[in-house]
Amino acid sequence: MSVQQRAQYETLFRPAAVGGVELANRIALAPMTRVSATAEGVPTERIGAYYRVFAEGGFALLITEGLYIDDQTSQGYFFQPGIANPAQAAAWRRVVDGVHAAGAKFFAQLMHAGSQSQGNPQTTATWGPSAVRPKGEQLAMYRGSGAFRIPRAMTAEQIGQVRAAFVNAARLARDAGFDGVEIHGANGYLLDAFLTDYMNARTDDYGGSVANRIRLATEVCGDVVAAVGADIAVGIRISQAKVSDNRHRWAGGEEDAAAIFTALADTGIDYIHTTEYRALAPAFDDTVRSLAGLAKRYSGLSIIANGHLDDPRDAATIVDSGAADIVALAKAALANRDWPRRVRMGQPLSPDVPADLFGPVATVKDWEVTDVPNIAGLEGRDYKTVDTT
C-alpha cells in the first residue's frame, strides 16, 4: 500500500466523540455473539482475553456481544453472557479494566432476545409483541434446531418489566465501568419485533402505526437515558433484517425511516448504530441513501455504521460522505484483530476468518453443559462460534 493510498484512509484515524466518550479513531469492533460465558452467564477470562486483543490491535471502541438483561426471559442462547445481576457485573468489571488498560473504550450491548430466543435455562416460554412465530429456523451453530417457538403476547405489566430490566442492566453496566451502553433494537430481537409489522399484531398503543410500533424502543431509550445518561453514553442498534429474516425491509421506505430515527433522537440518546448487509447500499429501491445516511439525516446524532465495510476504502467512504461517524467491523476484525494498525501502517489484510476464534478449539464440556437443562447429549461436542452480524 502506497503512502498516497494510506493517506486516503486518514479520515478513519481522526479522533471522534460519542456523547461524552472520546475515541482515538473512528474504528469500532462490532458486537458478535460468542456464546462462551459460563452456564450462569458470567464472562470468563477467555472472554476478557478475546476483547483485549482487539483493544491492543488499535480498535478505539469495542461493543460487547448482546448481554441478556434479566434472569427470566431475555436470554437468547445457552452460554450467552448476561449483565442481569451483581455476579455477572463484577466479572465484567475485570474484562472492562483489561480493555481500558489496552487503550480502548468499551460499550455494553443490552439485549432481550424476545421470540428469537433459542436457549434459556430459566424458562421454556418466549415473549413477543404478539403470538406470531418468527420466520425461518433456529441457528444450528448456537445449538438450535427447527422452527422458533410461538411467543406469548406480552401484557402491559410484562412490558413494564422489560423496561425496568433494561434500566437495571444499564446501571449495572455503568457500575462495572463500561463507557456506554447500546440498546439492542435490531435483528428481530424483542424491541425490533415490536417495530416489525408482521410480528406485531397489537391493537393497543404498541401496535399499528410506525409511531406505535417504535414506542417500546423509544421508551426504553428514554428510561435508560434518564437512569445513566449523565454518566455514560447511550445508543441503540437498528436494522431492517432479522436473524430469522434477512430480506425484511420497512414497508414505508424512507417515510418509515424518518419517523423511526426522529423518534429515537427525541429520546435523548447519543448515537444510533445501523447494521445492514452492505452499509453503503441504498436502504430502499427508491432512494440512494443508505440506512446510515437516513439515520444521520433524520436524527442528527452520531452514527455508527456496520455492514461489509471490511475494505478500508469502503470504511473511509462512508465516513467521508458524512453518512457515518464511526465504522464497526465484524468478520474483518476476526480476520485481522489489529485491523486499524495494519491499515495505518499499510500492511496487508487477511480475508480469512480463523476457524478457531478463541485459541484452542473449545468443547461444550468446557462449560459443564450438564448443569444446564434441556441440552443433554451435547457434552464433548466440538463447536466453533461465527459472526452473525
- Domain spans of the chain, in order of start: 3-368
Angle of CA points 38, 43, 47, to nearest 5°: 110
* pLDDT of amino acid 375: 27
Q: Which residues are catalytically annotated? A: 189
Residues in contact with 299: Cβ distance below 8 Å, sequence separation at least 6, in sequence order: 261, 262, 264, 265, 272
What is this structure's pTM? 0.91
* pLDDT of amino acid 352: 85
* pLDDT of amino acid 357: 61
* pLDDT of amino acid 6: 62
State the fold for domain 3-368.
TIM Barrel (3.20.20)
* pLDDT of amino acid 97: 98
Alpha-carbon distance of 189 to 199, in angstroms, equals 11
Segment 272-296, tens digit of pLDDT: 999 999 999 999 999 999 999 999 9
- Which residues of the chain register pLDDT less than 70? 1-6, 355-389
* pLDDT of amino acid 362: 34
Measured in degrees and rounded to the nearest 5, phi and psi for residue 357 equal -85, -10
Q: Which residue has the cell 432481550?
A: 112
